[in-house]
A = this chain, B = another copy of it.
């Protein structure tokens, strides 16, 4: 921690700060610059609240030196991590596509979606069974019945399953059917949920909160990693800004930033990022071009009748087209998106 004293700070103020740092257990190194006295506080206390010093008399500014997270940081883990989801690898050359409807609605619906996304080259089936909805009057998901349908459909087409968990109590039932547990944007700082999910050691898809800085997002990843669960995949899904033309603002620069600060794989969810069907494909292309390790895409056999997020869901034909487009971009940036296992059928 570095403490910068105000230009006019007097000796008693400086000494009071030194004393306080000492009381907090820091060693102190004092240096006198042309205008400012600067105090270096020596000692590693990642959780120390620097505002303790900032509010003292005569203090101009305080800067933290150590990251508030370690396990998620590249400083401590320089090599990129690969996360394995039952044979599907995130973080390698291959870009992994997760696709499917917002909500599981019926056997026919999830079956139709699963077949087509597998055929187009997706590796993981997405779909919600427990849905966080802004309004209490909205469709809240089919629960375990939905999970069962989704897993059956996924198994039929060689897909893995990712789905959201909203509360600790749902973990056992979701874990029974899913290969990856998703933490939604609204739960990024639901710390009990993060801890309980961490304990499962299962792969976790951690979405960025709508107003979370990258730093806070990595601290939420740290909650999971700290439970000895290294299988965290980050997912950029748009942040809240003043612009209302799109549902959120997809922050694609988060991708190169995260890749520098962390070793964890990162994917993008352009469907939630923009919220309107006709912007999903261009932003999926852009995500891959920016370096995403995967994509999460909403697609539905019949979007106008979808029980949730239909307007941002692609028609299945549009999804085929998206896959072709992103595959070309992937190749242009030296990566691959394999064609579907069923494509030759």
Contact = CB atoms under 8 A, between A and B. Distances in A.
Interface string A8-45: 10000000000010010000010101111010101110
A8 B79 CA distance: 13
Interface stretch (A46-54, A106-114, A151-159): A46-54
Given A214-B243, A241-B242, 11 more contacts: A7-B76, A31-B40, A49-B310, A134-B189, A136-B223, A211-B240, A241-B251, A253-B279, A256-B278, A285-B289, A286-B289
A66 B35 contact: yes
Contact of A278 (B215, B226, B260, B279): B260
A333 interface: yes
Stoichiometry, as copies per complex, reads: 4
A308 B52 CA distance: 10
Given A7-B76, A68-B135, A190-B187, A31 B33 contact: no
Contact of A36 (B65, B289, B332): B65
A97 interface: no
A96 interface: no
A249 interface: yes
A88 interface: no
Contacts of A137: 46-47, 226
Contact of A290 (B63, B138, B283): B283
B291 A244 contact: no
Interface in A230-279: 239-246, 249-257, 260, 273-279
A4 B65 CA distance: 7
24 contacts: A2-B38, A6-B75, A23-B304, A31-B40, A34-B42, A35-B66, A46-B135, A46-B137, A51-B276, A51-B312, A52-B310, A52-B311, A135-B222, A136-B195, A166-B190, A187-B190, A213-B243, A239-B242, A246-B253, A252-B283, A256-B278, A285-B332, A286-B287, A328-B333
Interface string A283-299: 10111111100000000
A141 to B, nearest CB: 11
A55 interface: yes
Contact of A276 (B55, B60, B68, B242): B55
A130 B278 CA distance: 40
A282 B168 CA distance: 38
Contacts of A329: 289, 329, 332-333
Contacts of A172: none
Contacts of A204: none
Contacts of A250: 252-253
Nearest to A78: B8
Given A65-B61, A134-B68, A260-B278, A193 B167 contact: yes
Contacts of A55: 276-278, 311
